[in-house]
Structure 1
Amino acid sequence: MNTTLLISTYNWPKALELVLMSVERQKKLPTEVVIADDGSTEETKKLIESYQENFPVKIRHIWHEDKGFTKTVILNKALKTITSDYVIQIDGDIILHSNFIKDHIANAKKGTYLFGSRISITEPYSKKALEKKQIKFYWFGSGLLRRTRAIYLPFYNTFTKSKHKNSSKLRGCNMSYWLKDAININGYNEDYIGWGYEDFDFAQRLINAGVAAKRIKHAAIQFHIYHKEAPKGDTDKGNKILSKTIQEQISVCKNGIKKL
Structure 2
Amino acid sequence: MPLNISCSLVTPTYNWPEALELLLLSVKNQSVFPNEVIVADDGSRKETKELIEKFQKNFPIPLIHVWHEDNKNQKPAIMNKAVAKAKYEYIIEIDGDIIMHKDFVKDHLQMASKNTFLYGSRVNILKPYLTELFSKKQIEFHFFSKGIKKRGRTLRIPLLANLYKEESSRSKKLRGCNMSFWRSDFIKINGFNEDLVGWGIDDSEMAQRLLNTGVKGKRLKFRGLVYHIYHKEQDKSHIHLNELIENETTAKKITTIEKGINQYL
Query: Shorter-chain TM-score category?
Result: over 0.9
Percent of residue pairs identical: 46
Note if 1:18 corresponds to 2:11. Answer: no
On the 8 A contact 1:165/1:213 being kept in 2, the answer is yes
- Equivalent position of 1:86 in the other structure: 90
Show the 5 A alignment for 1:33-48: 33-48=37-52
2:180 maps to what in 1? 176
Aligned residue-pair number: 259
Partner AA of 2:12 in structure 1: S
Q: Matches of 1:121 and 1:14 in 2, distance apart? A: 14
Alignment partner, residue 154 of structure 1 = 158
1:65-121 Cα shifts (integer Å, max 9, x gaps) = 000000000001111111201000001100000000000000000000000000001
Structure 2 residue matching 1:258: 3-state secondary structure: helix
Aligned to 1:74: 78
Which secondary structure state, in structure 2, belongs to the residue aligned with residue 79 of structure 1?
helix
**CA deviation map 1:211-230 (0-9, x unaligned):** 00000111100001111011
One-letter amino acid of the structure 2 residue matched with residue 191 of structure 1: D
- 2:244 equivalent to 1:240: yes
Please tell me whether residue 107 in structure 1 is matched to residue 94 in structure 2: no
> 1:145 maps to what in 2?
149
User: TM-score normalized by structure 1?
Assistant: 0.98
- The answer to whether 1:116 aligns with 2:120 is yes
Structure 1 stretches of 4+ with a deviation exceeding 4 A read none
- 1:210 corresponds in structure 2 to 214
Partner of 2:195: 191
State whether residues 166 and 213 of structure 1, in contact with CA within 8 Å, keep that contact through their aligned partners in structure 2: yes
Shift of 1:126: 2.2
| Counterpart code for 2:213 | A
Are 2:15 and 2:45, in contact at CA under 8 Å, matched by a contact in 1? yes
Residue 231 (structure 1) aligned with residue 201 (structure 2): no
Residues 131-179 of structure 1: per-residue CA shift (max 9 Å, x gap): 2111111112221111011111012122221101101111101000000
* Structure 1: gaps spanning 5 or more residues: none
- Mapped to 1, the partners of 2:199 and 2:141 lie a distance apart of 28
Query: What is the alpha-carbon root mean square deviation over aligned residues?
Result: 0.9
Which residue of structure 2 lines up, in the alignment, with residue 131 of structure 1?
Answer: 135
Mean CA deviation greater in 150-159 or 27-36: 150-159
Distance 1:222 1:235 in 2: 25
So what's the TM-score if we normalise by structure 2? 0.96
Pair 1:7-2:20 in alignment: no
Matched residue SS, 1:88: strand
Q: Is the 8 A contact 2:197 2:241 kept in 1?
A: no
Q: Is the 8 A contact 1:96 1:222 kept in 2?
A: yes
